Structure formats: C-alpha cells, structure tokens
C-alpha cells in the first residue's frame, strides 16, 4: 500500500511554495501558481515512488492496488492529488485522525 503525506511537513510536495507560520501553524497562499507547483511536485513524487518500487523488482500490480492520501492541508491539494492518482490505483483512501475511508474504488 502506498501512502502520501500531503501535510505541509512533506517538503517534496511543497518545494517551491512559500510556507509561512501563523500562530504556530504552517500555511501557504492557495492560488493557482502554488497549486500548479504542488500538482507538478505530486506528479514527480509519484513517479519517484514508482521508480523506487520498480528498482526493488516488485510487481507493479501490488503498487497500484491501494493509495492513501493523508495529512493536514488545504482541500484543493487533496483534489489535485486525487486527480493525479485516480486512474493509477484500484482504491484511493483518505485518512485523518478521525477517519480512514475509501474515497474511490474501481
């Protein structure tokens, strides 16, 4: 199972986006430019995960079974991530402190 931490702690996802602290909480400006950067970063992150999996000689059908999107972030980031992974995985899950649910399955 693959899991992507979409929280602002994942520097690979937010590379090139200015992260600021407001009252001890990390935040970024949700605008089209930042969302485009994040989308490209998520895509590249996924390509890297696939390459690592292949390099280990593992069966890609196992890789493509389930992905879990997790971590506190803005809703548009989840929408972008979902769009990027939806056709590559049989099941997409969402997990936070309260829920672990299936968001899509095909």
pLDDT tens digits in sequence order for the chain, 106 residues long: 899 999 999 999 999 999 999 888 999 999 999 999 999 999 999 999 999 999 999 888 889 999 999 999 999 999 999 999 999 999 999 999 999 999 999 8
Question: What is this structure's pTM?
Answer: 0.92
Q: Which of 44, 43, 40, 48 is nearest to 17 (CA)?
A: 40
- pLDDT, residue 101, reads 95
User: What's the count of helices (H) and strands (E) in the chain, helices before strands?
Assistant: 3, 6
- pLDDT, residue 15, reads 98
**Residue 85 φ/ψ, nearest 5 degrees:** -100, -15
Encoded tokens for 89: 């995985």
At residue 88, the pLDDT reads: 92
pLDDT of residue 62: 87
Per DSSP, 66 falls in state E
The residue extents of the domains of the chain are 2-105
């Amino acid at each position: 199972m693959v899991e992507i931490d979409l929280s602002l702690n994942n520097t690979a996802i937010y590379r090139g986006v200015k992260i600021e602290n407001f009252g001890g909480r990390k935040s970024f400006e949700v605008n089209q430019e930042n969302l485009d950067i994040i989308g490209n970063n998520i895509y590249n992150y996924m390509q890297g995960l696939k390459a690592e999996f292949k390099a280990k000689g593992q069966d890609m059908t196992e890789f493509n079974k389930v992905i879990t999107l997790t971590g506190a972030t803005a809703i548009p980031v989840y929408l972008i991530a979902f769009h990027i992974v939806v056709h590559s995985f049989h099941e997409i899950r969402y997990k936070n402190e309260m829920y672990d649910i299936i968001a899509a399955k095909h």
